[in-house]
Structure 1
Amino acid sequence: MIKKHEIYKTDNWNMMTVEVQGRYIILREISDQWGEDTHTFMSRPAMMAWVHGRFNKEAYKDNEEEYHKIIEAFKQV
């Protein structure tokens, strides 16, 4: 069974989804700047390590609410 989570979506070109496929976690990041990027993780801790590197808290210092919303969405995966 595949469980799909939508982390955020601003439009059809700026979004991030996570699919849990058995023991694999597949993260797809689509952006109008870089196209589609896919990451495969073997565990939630590995995914969260990537998340904390990708979503630097300093980059969201003007919008901490959005930062916490994104991190919380990943924790629900």
Structure 2
Amino acid sequence: MFKKHEIYKKDKYNMLTVEVQGKTLIVREISEEWGEECHTFVSRPQMMHWAENRFRVSDFEGNEQERQSILAALRSV
């Protein structure tokens, strides 16, 4: 059985989830703009490296508190 973590969900077209499948982490990012993107990681540090680049301060649309809460939710997976 896989454990699914909801990182954020604005509506059914804008969300980020993480599925834990044994040692593998599968990040599904769904957006109106890009559709569904799926990223597979073999370690939490690898996933967090992706997250730090994906949610860079300079590119993030939203406030710093939102950005920090997304990163904190990913760290807690």
Deviating 4+ runs (over 6 angstroms):
none
Q: Unaligned regions of 5+ residues in structure 2, if any?
A: none
Identity value in percent: 55
Query: Which residue matches 2:65?
Result: 65
Query: Which residue matches 2:24?
Result: 24
- After superposition, where does 1:28-39 map in structure 2 within 5 Å? 28-39=28-39
Shift of the 61–40 alpha-carbon distance from structure 1 to 2, 3 Å rule, reads: closer
TM-score normalised to structure 2 length: 0.93
| Count, aligned residues | 77
Name the CA distance, whole Å, in 1 between partners of 2:22 and 2:58. 34
Identify, as 1 or 2, the structure richer in helix. Answer: 1
Which piece of structure 1 moves more, 2-11 or 58-67? Answer: 58-67
Name the CA distance, whole Å, in 1 between partners of 2:29 and 2:36. 6
TM-score normalised to structure 1 length: 0.93
Q: Unaligned regions of 5+ residues in structure 1, if any?
A: none
